[in-house]
Each structure stands twice: as structure tokens, then as C-alpha cells.
Amino acid sequence: MTTYNHSQIEQKWQKYWQDHETFRAEIDPNKPKYYVLDMFPYPSGAGLHVGHAEGYVASDLVARYKRMNGFNVLHPMGWDAFGLPAERYAEKVGGHPKDVSVTNSNRYCSQLKALGLSYDWARTFSTTDPDYYKWTQWIFTKLYERGLAYEVEFPVNWCPKLGTVLANEEVKDGKYVETGDEVVKKPMRQWMLKITEYAERLLQDLDELDWPEGIKKLQRDWIGKSTGADITFNIDGSQEKMTVFTTRPDTLFGLSYCVLAPENPLALKISTKKQRDAVAAYIIAAAKKSAQDRLKNEKNKTGVFTGAYAINPLNNKKVPIYISDYVLGDYGYGAVMAVPAHDQRDYDFAKKFNLPIIPVIEGGDLSKEAWEGNGKMINSDFLNGLDAESSKEVMIKWLTDHNCGKKTINYKLRDWLFSRQRYWGEPFPIIHCEDGKVKALPLQDLPLTLPEMQEYKPTPDGRPPLARATEWIKTIDPETGKPAIREQNTMPQWAGSSWYFLRFCDPKNNQEACSKEAEKYWMPVDLYIGGAEHAVLHLLYARFWHKVLYDIGVVSTKEPFKKLFNQGMILANSFRDDRGKYYYPNEVENNGHDWVVKETGVRVNTQIEKMSKSRYNVVNPDEVVEKYGADTMRVYEMFMGPVDKNKPWTEEGINGAHRFVKRLHSLFIGDDGLSKRISKDVQDDENTLKAYNYMVKAVTEDFETLSFNTALARIMEFMNELGNDKKISQKTAEGLTLLVSPFVPHMAEEVWQQMGHTNTLAYEPWPKYDQQYLVQDLIKIPIQIQGKKVGIVQVPPGAKPETILECAMKLPNIQKQLDSQEIGKQIYVPNKILNLVLKKNSESR
């Protein structure tokens, strides 16, 4: 048997693809297009691990399959290289973010190339390229022009020890997750994007998308649309009024008290002299809690009475107004009308503060908990007898008629905090003029490049690093010629990833973000593959920017990503001792019954977990590629299980995949050139043709549903049918080569060439199956009664015993016997025999 030299074959074909620009995509109006996109990576210092590759391999299979089906395929890759992680990594290794970003992207690039992924590398860019961020900045100016970007004082997470602002995800229980340093809320001037203006469209347009339902639900919940009413209350003895948002106007007769959020400015205004100190103290204490802590559904609610009373417009009854941190400052009006009988949070509060619980809907047991369900209205005057749902409308009409309320819609979605006090991001194309005006730079002044700064770390006083670039900051207002100052915040990492898919359509364009022609031809992305962790932020931000671009006529589709597919995670075995310390696999051994640390003998637990550097269980694809080859790795990753499921990486698994790849190789390649098992003179026998055509049909169907593990299983079945020595015709061998080529592209190209072809197989038509070989033969099933053969029926393989019995009953001699005797038991050996045992008592009849 010839040896399978994977490195030689893989390097040869990777070079061929590069030299021939095999996967270069150009607009071709005569061909249908297919745009398949990976979520481009942030090139981290650690490089790729095999888990990252899962999605890339899957999308590559689709790209190759679509090319072979006549599609003009756009399959690009690039780098999301701005952002905090690059800065942190640079700090760690003592470099500059600019340099580490380049080194890391180069490393990613070569790692991806080594996997044989069919990207159009001519389209690659990094979000940090001035030619790219010129247009990111331009889009920002468009947002600004449309009033969708604005400045505001906003409380940010500020870590005094590190002198930096942190993202919400980086803060837990008032501490920075990485170092445990204290984080406080500090108001700072920030840029916000008005994503809330697009809330309804972001919600409605989800309906037309072919996305996993779970992701759509996460987006819907994040947008959080609630329909209800605004109700305005007069405050006893005061000119002030208090407005609340409620989803349950039907329960207004059950009003027991009102609550303001501690942040609500009304709180101090309406407090009586006697209560003011207590209210002020509560407000200060609440400011230290995070929103998450406040949302926790704790029974033990806290609060303080303001001394003031609100007047229920229905019956002029006075109810006390409290402040409590279970009411959030930034939702609705930061104020609620409390109905303890029908809202559990209000119920808990009412129990603690001894406030009345007035039922207005029948149902439940109010001595135990609130009744949040539906029912007939009671204690509610003109609503009595109605159901809760229809009383909403009646109440809203009453409120509107009496000028103290109206129907409203509220969204949980907040505007997007868009500025960072960091160095490594896109500078804002904004200047602050002497007269206080804030202006966006015109296109001809873009890109506004990031100034070179050796000292890029944040300033301890909270000013952004760019504040130190004193020369860069000073500029001239192009309109008036007067001095002006540049904006010193930078954009968040999300900016660059909010429109990169559009730029891939026309990455070199210097005149426009993307030409109309390229956009019309390539957009939208037909298939977007990436991790489910991007369910909300990236996927929502990108949809928002896309809709703005749609409104200004830059794109012609309402949505950027037609179909979304989430790959699962690759898990791996990790070793951890009872104190939580992880060990590398080479640091431990199995002593017969336990895993122990080699040096110390300390017992360790093994567990299957997410693959990550901090768990010491990362498998490096470079090593896998070197030892087994990229083709084997691709096969293994696709064979492990459905692409969207989590699966553990195992050494046995990769070995199994390697054996399969070697088997394929030995079927195709002999000592000198093509294997002797393949010949133009061979006529395939009936079984081979049937198995082959069945495989082609099944594999094709599996590719359509991204079911690559089952596609591989069909190919393996066919290989089993061939055994170790059966000869096949060159025609069948060619079909098989094309069919396996998305999985093992390097080897397939090599075989294709050995078969005498001079061109790449990447654009060969995908194999077709011949229906005539798919008609299944009927099989013969003998029927026995009391162990004696009485007849034979013919049925398709896999037929159910009922069907067989039905056929058997039609045979005259069987019919006769069964007329007089009843069947006691049937024993069916699938596809072999049906045995009928007759009832004893009926025998004697």
C-alpha cells in the first residue's frame, strides 16, 4: 500500500489555489450568487484552537458545495482587530496594540490557510485598516447627521485603581472580574447611538429571517416590547404629577400604593420634611447596587415612605408613595402603580410594609401569593364581570376620556453606549468648535487616522488616552477656519463588525463604502455561521446599522443575514484538582484507578468542558494538521456530530477519521499514480451502481441541511460496500472524488489530477444520481404457520409486519386456514420470515 503523505499533498494544493487564485470571486450577472460568511475572528494572541475551526470548516463545505452547484460564491475572511482584547494582550506581552494585531492576524491567516479553507483572500481586510475605518467613520457621520448619534452625561463603570472605564460584562458585584478591583458608577460624557428608534423594525423584521428560533427569541426579549398604558396621578397637596407605565391598566381599582425608583428626581421633590433624610440616605445606598442585583427577585424588598400621597383618578383615593430599588430608574418612567394582589413584587413589598392587598381579579390564594393569572374582574365598578384582557381596553378608554392616561408601548432596549476611553479603536470623526458646536468631518477629511502613541494606556484621571495626543487634538474647523478640538473618545469594537459583511462585497473601493453594483449583486449574506454567544449584541448592532444604511440608500435589503446557523462548541477533557487548579494533560497520569499529578501524586478529576486556555485543555490545530493533515481534521470535525451541537474532542476520534482518509487514499492512489482498483475498462456491477446512486442522493440532501456527519456516514457505507478489493469504473471513482472533495479538498484535487484532469475540481459539477438505480427491489418473505411454510409474499425491504400479514391473508391457502383459526402470536424476523402461531383453544373448535 502506498503511504499517504498528507503534508506534501496539502502544501502542493494550497500553493496551487493561491497561485491560481482559485477561489477569487468576481461579479458575474449570468450566474446566481451565494454569499457564505463566517463571523470574522478577533485574532487573539493564543491563535486558533480546534474549536474555532468547526464553523470555518462547515462554511467551507457549503462554499465548495455551492460552487460545484453552479453558484458564484463569495466566501471572504478578515480580522476584527480593534478593541480592548488587543490592548490587554499588548500590555501583557509588552508590545503595542498595532504590532500585536498585525502579528496575530498573520498567524490566524496562516492557520486558516493550513486548513485548506476556500476563502477569496484578495478580499481580506482588518477593521484597523484606515481604508476600512474611513467608511466606519463615514457611517458614523451619517448616523450623526440623522440625529442617531448624540452626546450625553452617562454613568459608566469606572475602575479608579486601573484608571479605566469597563464594559458591563467586565463588572460583577461592583468589582472588575479580572482583578477584583473596585468599580464605581461615574458620570462621564459619552456618545450614544439611538438604536431605540429602530426597536419596532428590529422586532418586526425578525419574522422573515431563517434564523434559529432561540436566537430570534433572545433578540425579541432583548428588545422587550410591552404594550400598556401611561397613567398620570396628581400628588396630594403638590403641583407635581407622577406618571407610571403599566402593562395592567385593568388593575387600577386594586391600587394600594405607588413606588418611585431612587433615581427618579421626583423622589426628593415630593418627600415631606420629616421623611427627606431617610429618602436621601436610601438613594445613596441604592446607587451602589448593580441593575442585576436590583432585578433579583428577592422576597425581602426594601424601601422608604416619602410622606407624599398619589390620588387614584378612578375614585380619588389617596395612596402612599414609597421609593424602592425594585423599581428601575431607566425603564418606563421609573415609577410604578403597585397592585399587590396581582403582582408578586408588589405583593412582597406590601407584606413587608403592611399595605393593603385589594383583589380585583378572581383567582388564586392571596394569603399565599399574588394572583398573576386571568379571571373575572371584581371590586372594579364598571369593569366588574369582564375578563382582565378586555378590561384593559375599557380602562384605557376611560383614562383617555378623563385626560389622565393613554395607550403606550415601551421597549426594554436602551440606546447603545458607543464611546470608549481607550486608544485602540476608530477615532470619532467629530470636532468640537470654539462656539460649542459639534461637527462631523466631511468625507474628504476621512479617514481620520489614529495618532501613533507609544504610551497608549488610559490616563489615571479618566481622560481618554487620545487626550494626550496634544498635537493631533488641535485642528481647524473647515467651515470657519477657526481652531477646534478633536473628539478624544474612540469607538467600541462593535463598530467595525457592524458592517464588514458589506465591505467584503467591494473591499478596495475608495469612492464608496460599497458600490451599488456590488451590493445589489452580493447582498444579503445567504448563510452566516458563527457562535450563539453573538445572539444579541453583534447581531443586533449589525442589523441596526444595516437598517440605517438602507434608509440612506446604501443597501437595498432590509436585513443583512438571510440565514443564520450557530455552530456548537468543541469540548475537551480537562484535569483539575480539588482546589480548582488545572493541569496540562502531560502533567498527569493514570495510576490504574485514578488520575494523579505526576510530580506530586495529587488526585485530579477529569471532566469534559468547553475548550479554553484557562482550562489547559486546548487542542492546537497546527499540531493536528502536522500529525494527521488538514483533510483528516476537516473530516473529524464534521464527523463528530451535528455541527450545531457541543461535542468532545477525542484522540480516538481523530485516529478514526485518519484511518478513513487513508482508506480513501488507498482506494484512489496506487504505487505509481492512480490505483489499480480504478479503471476505464471496468463495468460497475449492479450493487455498486445502486450503492453509489443512493450515496449521491443522500449526501446531496445532507449538504442541503448542513448535516455533514450523516453525509460522511453515507460515504463510509459506500466504502464498506466496495470492500478492500472491488474494482470500480473511472466514472464512479470521479463521482466519488467530487463528492468527498468538500471534506478532503487537498486529496481530492490530487486524485483528480491523477485521473488526468488539468484543472481544479472546485468548479466541476456536483455529481448527479440516476433514479433508475434507486428503485428498490421487492424482497421475498416466507410465511409459516405452526412452523410449516405455507406461502411467500413480496414486499419492499423494511415493510411493517402488518403489511406483510395483509399480503399473506390474500393468499388463498393461508386465507382458508385463518378463516377457521385465530392467530395467537406473530413472530417477525425483519426482512426474513413471518411466523404465525395459532391459538390453542380455537384449534379444538
Picking from 197, 189, 132, the residue whose alpha carbon sits closest to that of residue 420 is 189
Residue of 72, 101, 141, 246 that binds ligand ANZ (CB under 6 A): 246
- Supply angle C-alpha 545, 547, 548, rounded to 5: 65
Min dist CB 507 to ligand ANZ, Å, is 43
Q: Is 59 helix (H, G, I), strand (E, B) or coil?
A: helix
Q: Where are the alpha helices (DSSP H) in 242-382?
A: 266-270, 273-286, 291-295, 344-353
> Is 53 or 252 the residue whose CB approaches ligand ANZ more closely?
252
Q: How many CB atoms lie within 10 A of CB 579?
A: 6
Check residue 496 for interaction with ligand ANZ (CB under 6 A). Answer: no
Q: Which of 251, 490, 693, 741 binds ligand ANZ (CB under 6 A)?
A: 251
Dist CA 276 CA 304 (whole Å): 10
Residue span 402-421 as binding mask against ligand ANZ, x where in contact by CB under 6 A, dash where not? --------x-----------
For the CB of residue 767, give the shortest distance to ligand ANZ in the complex, in Å.
54
Q: Which of 199, 202, 327, 377 binds ligand ANZ (CB under 6 A)?
A: 327
Asked if residue 395 binds ligand ANZ (CB under 6 A), the reply is: no
C-alpha span between 54 and 188 (Å, rounded)? 42
Residue 67 or 342: the one with the smaller Cβ distance to ligand ANZ is 342
In whole angstroms, the minimum distance from the beta carbon of 374 to ligand ANZ comes to: 11
Nearer to ligand ANZ, 384 or 815 (CB): 384
Judged by beta carbon, residue 91 or residue 263, the one nearer ligand ANZ is 263
Applying CB under 6 A, the site for ligand ANZ has a residue count of 18
Identified binder of ligand ANZ from the candidate list 50, 336, 795, 834, rule CB under 6 A: 336
Range in contact with ligand ANZ (rule: CB under 6 A) among 134-142, 336-344, 788-796, 822-830:
336-344
Which of 83, 332, 427, 447 touches ligand ANZ (CB under 6 A)?
A: 332
Asked if 209 is part of the footprint of ligand ANZ (rule: CB under 6 A), the reply reads no
- Round to whole Å and give the CA distance between 63 and 75: 7
Closer to ligand ANZ at the Cβ: 333 or 504? Answer: 333
x/- track of binding to ligand ANZ for residues 257-276 (CB under 6 A): ----x---------------
Nearer to ligand ANZ, 90 or 229 (CB): 229
Sole window of 243-251, 701-709, 758-766, 790-798 interacting with ligand ANZ (rule: CB under 6 A): 243-251
Q: What is d(CA 331, CA 21) in angstroms, rounded to the nearest whole number?
A: 54
Of 162 and 394, the one with the shorter C-beta distance to ligand ANZ is: 394
Binder among 206, 311, 328, 453 for ligand ANZ (CB under 6 A):
328
Whether the CB-CB separation of 276 and 269 falls below 8 Å is answered with no
Show Cβ contacts of residue 829 under 8 Å, excluding neighbours closer than 6 positions. Answer: 835
Q: With respect to ligand ANZ, which residue has the nearer C-beta, 342 or 647?
A: 342
Contact between residue 331 and residue 246 where contact means Cβ atoms under 8 Å apart = no
What region, left, alpha or beta, does residue 663 occupy, with left being phi > 0 and alpha being psi -120 to 50 degrees? alpha
Least Cβ distance, residue 362 to ligand ANZ (angstroms): 14
Query: How many CB atoms sit inside 10 A of residue 304's CB?
Result: 21
Closest Cα to residue 41, out of 104, 135, 95, 97?
104
- Please state, as a whole number, how many other Cβ atoms lie within 10 Å of the Cβ of residue 94: 7
Among residues 334, 492, 621, 745, the one that binds ligand ANZ under rule CB under 6 A? 334
Smallest distance from the beta carbon of 303 to ligand ANZ, in angstroms? 13
In the complex, minimum distance from the CB of residue 224 to ligand ANZ, in angstroms, rounded to a whole number: 7
State the residue for C-alpha cell 407584606: 351
Minimum CB separation of residue 217 from ligand ANZ in Å reads 15
Which of the residues 39 through 98 are near ligand ANZ (CB under 6 A)? none
Which residues lie closer than 8 Å to 529 by C-beta, 6 or more apart?
A: 36, 37, 38, 39, 55, 58, 59, 62, 564, 565, 566, 567
Instruction: Rank residues 327 and 781 by Cβ distance to ligand ANZ and give the closer one.
Output: 327
477: number of Cβ within 10 Å: 17
CA distance 678 to 668: 7
Residue 264 vs 732, nearer CB to ligand ANZ: 264
Does 343 contact ligand ANZ by CB under 6 A? Answer: yes
Residue 114 three-state SS: coil
With contacts defined by CB under 6 A, name the span among 120-128, 241-249, 682-690, 833-841 that binds ligand ANZ.
241-249
Give whichever of 310 and 739 is closer to ligand ANZ, judged by the CB atom. Answer: 310
- Pick from 149, 159, 195, 337 the residue near ligand ANZ by CB under 6 A: 337
- C-alpha dihedral over 39, 45, 51, 56, to 10 degrees? 40
- Minimum distance between the CB of residue 221 and ligand ANZ, rounded to whole angstroms? 10
Using the minimum distance from each CB to ligand ANZ, give the nearer residue, 260 or 549.
Answer: 260
Residue among 9, 270, 304, 339 that touches ligand ANZ (CB under 6 A): 339
DSSP secondary-structure letter at 505?
T
* Residue 245 engages ligand ANZ in binding (rule: CB under 6 A): yes
* Candidates 43-51, 240-248, 416-424, 743-751; binding stretch for ligand ANZ (CB under 6 A): 240-248
Please list every residue from 732 through 771 that binds ligand ANZ, using CB under 6 A.
Answer: none
Give yes or no for residue 323 binding ligand ANZ (CB under 6 A): no
342 binds ligand ANZ (CB under 6 A): yes
Cell numbers for 373, please give them. Answer: 393569572
CB 599 within 8 A of CB 589: no
Q: Decide whether 339 or 699 has the Cβ nearer to ligand ANZ.
A: 339
578 CB neighbour count, 10 Å cutoff? 9
Look up residue 720 and give its amino acid. Answer: N
Using rule CB under 6 A, residue 781 touches ligand ANZ? no
At what angle are helices 6-20 and 630-639 packed, to 10 degrees?
90
Closest approach, Cβ 404 to ligand ANZ, in A, equals: 15
Question: Which three three-digit cell numbers place residue 638?
Answer: 464534521
Give CA–CA dist 416/543, Å, rounded: 13
Q: For the packed helices 621-628 and 6-20, what is the interaxial angle rounded to 10 degrees?
A: 110
**H helices of 705-800, where?**
708-722, 730-740, 745-754
What's phi and psi for 273, nearest 5 deg? Answer: -50, -45
**Per CB under 6 A, does 319 bind ligand ANZ?**
no
226 is a site residue for ligand ANZ (CB under 6 A): yes
Rounded to the nearest angstrom, the gap between the alpha carbon of residue 22 and the centroid of all alpha carbons in its chain is 30
Give whichever of 77 and 336 is closer to ligand ANZ, judged by the CB atom.
336
Residue from the set 64, 67, 248, 420 that interacts with ligand ANZ by CB under 6 A:
248
* Cβ closest to ligand ANZ, residue 295 vs residue 476: 295
Nearer to ligand ANZ among residue 261 and residue 638 (C-beta): 261
Side-chain-side CA neighbours of 391 within 13 Å: the count stands at: 24
Applying CB under 6 A, does 247 fall inside the site for ligand ANZ? yes
227: which 3 cell numbers? Answer: 404594550
Instruction: Reduce the secondary structure of 624-641 to three states and give it as a string.
Output: HHHHHCHHHHHHHHHHCC
Instruction: Show Cβ contacts of residue 293 under 8 Å, excluding neighbours closer than 6 positions.
Output: 173
Distance CA 412, CA 458 (A): 32
- Cα angle for residues 314, 318, 323 (degrees, 5° grid): 115
The interface region with ligand ANZ, picked from 90-98, 161-169, 339-347, 783-791 by CB under 6 A, is: 339-347
Query: Which residue, 392 or 662, is less far from ligand ANZ as judged by CB?
Result: 392
Residue 84 or residue 358: which is nearer to ligand ANZ going by CB?
Answer: 358
Rounded Cα–Cα distance for residues 172 and 86 (Å):
22
Q: Nearest distance from residue 387's CB to ligand ANZ, in Å? A: 14
Residues making contact with ligand ANZ (CB under 6 A): 226, 245-248, 251, 261, 327-328, 331-332, 334, 336-337, 339, 342-343, 410
